[in-house]
Chains A and B, each alone.
Chain A
């Protein structure tokens, strides 16, 4: 739009023109700067992760020790249990994985990594966060209204979610729905910004294949989100009308169909899994190349597999509905697409492993997280194959096997991916180094108990334990001491894991204040964000960079140094 911005002097591009002091309000509360908006998303996401984790702690305590007064919550009533599980799932996906992986890292990284000074629509960016924040408030409000918070599962299937007689939460369910819808709007606005910025505002010289993988991934994720969420927005309006006006969109007695909701939900819900997976995959790609000091094994292959995954992810949704009465012939088709989609993702993992091969690997904290991501995610991916086979899924459906499967995908994505990213970019974000020793203690203190939580749940699932059950004491086959011991093991592991998160918090806060000052490029990385000061000032670069090569030129033979910044002319 160069011709439409006469207020700005054209070439040569210089640093940001305004350096005037900003008030506290315009700097931290209503910022336009992409980095600060990223921080807002980051800290909101971390706070929500604590809430989601606290909910998990509360209902896991109830399952391991049924009927106890859970410290910090009290007695968990059946309605409490449902509300906790529902909101744990919704929070972890919509208010942790999305804001942290897409909005926080996307906002912080995209302009820096493509070498420009901000997003193309800073005000829309700010509006996006404000709507997101509003969605948080609405979600909190849903806990305070009469009837309590919604407990009909994060998938909100009607008729349970559609009628107050069934859900018993006349206001809670509508507020929950409204909160989710607002969150969607926030991410649609943010996504448009990410996509247009990455398309149009790259540094001079940065061609398509010079864009760092993580930027590609966040942009692809935004596109996939945008193309999948629409039908669910329509569905949410329909469900809201069913709840509040008494329409019968999902009521079979009145010509509606509850399975329609399942289609609309999963048409979004399954691409959504990849919407959060791709950014995590991108973060891992950046870290692995830097700490293997090796070029990414196959840049274009990663892109093609990401595109392939993106397209295929729109064709698998009904594998969530194998037992919802869909036509068995349809089930075959969805089994095939589901098994197919494991191919590009597996290929991506192989590319990462091949990148490691022959590299000079440095086991820094971010690298440990990145490697753990691949290892743990693979367990999630492989167990998914069993569920994708429609025959097997009839047995597995809605059991803890499913639950353990998707936590082996979501936990690596949302938690391990987050820790990988934050330990890697912390020096750039805050200008200080994190403590590596504490980082490693935190790493092992998270990874080992994580497996301690969810491996037992696979076994429980195979034993026939269903999800979303408040108390297993009334199921004789499930109330055996052996199975109860597994439940206790999972809960105790969770307590240990949560305890170790304090190490991270201490490390984070202490490093913020007293950490060693970070140099501009502590990891000797090529991508552009490391060529800006740590932390980058408003406007990011003193002189906006020009790009001469791709992002992964490590250990190029014949060069004195083993890295070659994208903006170095020689």
Chain B
């Protein structure tokens, strides 16, 4: 990266460009999940029969995963704090903890889905399950993407480089967390 455009060094809004971009990215993501969940809610209100299907989801596993994600958001915040203090290696360690949370979440999810599919609750079993897998699957893809991004951020942070990216990864991670906070009650708790 010999030459970044001068454009990147300007900040007319006084908000760093990278942060602006992440917020706009999240804006576009919010409408994606918003559209999907709004469709789900409309359907759900129209179909009482889905309660019976929703009863088959495992609230305990969902709750455990919620806890995992919340904890990983905490480590992401701590990583940001460390980065602010200029302590790259510490930020990197905390990011690795967050990545660990992401991995745990995905492993638990894989286990949960395998069980459900074994019991015949496949994506085509019922439109409730279609939503269940589509929404949670889209979310899981975001978890995976976030984890991959954090690997790169953690590796440069460990060398005290690009520390501002720790915050950006954190913002994204909180968003992934918040989406789950919506999914968990909608898919698991509402029986």
Using a CB–CB distance below 8 Å, which chain A residues touch chain B?
Answer: 1-2, 4-5, 7-8, 10, 13-14, 16-18, 111, 116-122, 188, 191-193, 195-197, 199-202, 206, 226-235, 237-238, 241, 245-249, 254-257, 260, 264, 267, 544
- Return chain B residues, CB-CB under 8 Å to A231: 31-32, 34-36, 38-39
In the complex, A13→B138 CA distance in Å?
Answer: 44
B114 within 8 A of partner (CB):
no
In the complex, what residues of A have CB within 8 A of residue B43's CB? 255-257, 260
A8 to chain B, nearest CB (A): 6
Contact B11 A2 (CB under 8 A): yes
With A1-B17, A230-B32 known as contacts, the answer to whether A247 contacts B123 (CB < 8 A) is yes
Q: A8-B9, A264-B39 are in contact. Are A230 and B21 (CB under 8 A)?
A: no
Q: How far is the CA of A140 from the CA of B81 in the complex (A)?
A: 49
28 contacts between A and B (CB under 8 A): A4-B18, A4-B162, A14-B6, A16-B6, A111-B7, A118-B6, A120-B7, A121-B8, A191-B24, A192-B28, A200-B15, A201-B17, A206-B12, A227-B27, A227-B31, A229-B31, A230-B33, A230-B34, A234-B138, A237-B134, A238-B36, A238-B39, A241-B123, A241-B134, A245-B123, A247-B130, A255-B127, A260-B39
The chain B residue sitting closest to A4, CB to CB, is B164
Q: Counting CB contacts under 8 A, is B42 at the interface?
A: yes
The answer, yes or no, to whether B104 is at the interface (CB within 8 Å) is: no
Interface positions of B from 71 to 110, Cβ below 8 Å from A: none
Is there contact, CB below 8 Å, between A260 and B7? no
Q: Is the CB of A196 within 8 A of B9?
A: no
Q: A192-B21, A231-B32, A255-B126 are in contact. Are A5 and B9 (CB under 8 A)?
A: yes
Instruction: Name the A residues within 8 Å of B33 (CB-CB).
Output: 230, 234
Indicate if the CB atoms of A8 and B12 lie closer than 8 Å. Answer: no
Asked if A234 and B32 sit within 8 Å, CB to CB, the answer is yes
Report B-chain residues with C-beta under 8 Å of the C-beta of A18. 2-3
Instruction: Pick from B3, B124, B164: contact of A247, CB below 8 A.
Output: B124
Complex CA–CA separation, A76 to B91 (angstroms): 64
Chain A residues with CB under 8 Å of B128's CB are 255
**CA–CA, A14 and B21, complex, Å:** 25
By beta carbon, the residue of chain A nearest B128 is: A255
Contact A264 B35 (CB under 8 A): yes
Q: Top 6 closest A-B pairs, CB basis?
A: A231-B35, A230-B31, A118-B5, A234-B36, A230-B32, A201-B7
A-facing mask of B122-141, CB < 8 A → 1, else 0? 01101110110010001000
Q: Is the CB of A117 within 8 A of B5?
A: yes
- The smallest beta-carbon distance between A249 and chain B, in angstroms, is 6
Q: Is the CB of A16 within 8 A of B31?
A: no
Of B8, B11, B28, B35, the residue contacting A188 (CB under 8 A) is B28
CA distance A255 to B44 in the complex (A): 10
Q: Is the interface of B mostly helix, strand, loop or mixed?
A: helix
Contact assessment for B130 and A2 in the assembled complex, using a CB-CB cutoff below 8 Å: no
Question: Known interface pairs A1-B16, A117-B5, A247-B130. Does A202 touch B10 (Cβ–Cβ under 8 Å)?
Answer: yes
- Taking a contact as CB atoms under 8 Å apart, the answer to whether A1 and B11 are in contact is yes
Specify which of A117, A201, A233, A264 is in contact with B12 (CB 8 Å cutoff). Answer: A201
- B123-A116 in contact (CB<8A): no
| Further pairs besides A1-B18, A255-B43: 20, Cβ < 8 Å | A7-B2, A119-B7, A120-B17, A199-B20, A200-B17, A200-B20, A202-B12, A226-B24, A226-B31, A227-B31, A231-B32, A234-B33, A234-B138, A235-B39, A248-B130, A249-B127, A254-B126, A255-B49, A260-B39, A267-B35
Which B residues lie within 8 Å of A232 (CB)? 35
Of chain B, the residue at the smallest CB distance from A10 is B9
User: In the complex, what residues of A have CB within 8 A of residue B50's CB?
Assistant: 255
Which of B5, B20, B49, B164 is most buried by chain A, counting CB atoms within 10 A of its CB? Answer: B5
- Least distance between B4 CB and chain A CB atoms (Å): 6
Chain B positions within 8 Å of A234 at CB level: 32-33, 35-36, 39, 138
Q: Is B116 at the interface (CB under 8 A from chain A)? A: no
Question: Of residues 14 to 58 in B, which have CB atoms within 8 Å of A's CB atoms?
Answer: 15-18, 20-21, 24-25, 27-36, 38-39, 42-43, 47, 49-50
B124 surroundings in chain A (CB, below 8 A) = 245-248
Do the beta carbons of B17 and A226 come within 8 Å of each other?
A: no
Q: Which chain B residue has the least Cβ–Cβ distance from A2? A: B9
Distance of A247 Cα from B24 Cα, bound (Å): 32
Is B5 in contact with A122, judged by CB distance below 8 angstroms? yes
Query: In whole angstroms, how far apart are the Cα atoms of A475 and B9 in the complex?
Result: 66
CB-based contact A196/B21 at 8 Å: yes
Query: Would you give the shortest CB distance from A316 to chain B, in whole angstroms?
Result: 17
Give the complex CA separation of A255 and B15 in angstroms.
46
Within the assembled complex, what's the spacing in Å between the Cα atoms of A16 and B4? 9
* Bound CA span A238–B25, Å: 22
With an 8 A cutoff between CB atoms, is B1 at the interface?
yes
| B residues near A116, Cβ cutoff 8 Å | 5-7, 10
Choice from B11, B134, B138 contacting A200 with Cβ under 8 Å: B11
Q: Judging by beta carbons under 8 Å apart, are B32 and A8 in contact?
A: no
Q: Smallest CB–CB gap between A126 and chain B, Å?
A: 13
Contact residues in B for A254 (Cβ distance below 8 Å): 126-127
CB-CB under 8 A from B138, the residues of chain A are 234, 237
Give the docked Cα–Cα distance between A56 and B15 (Å): 47
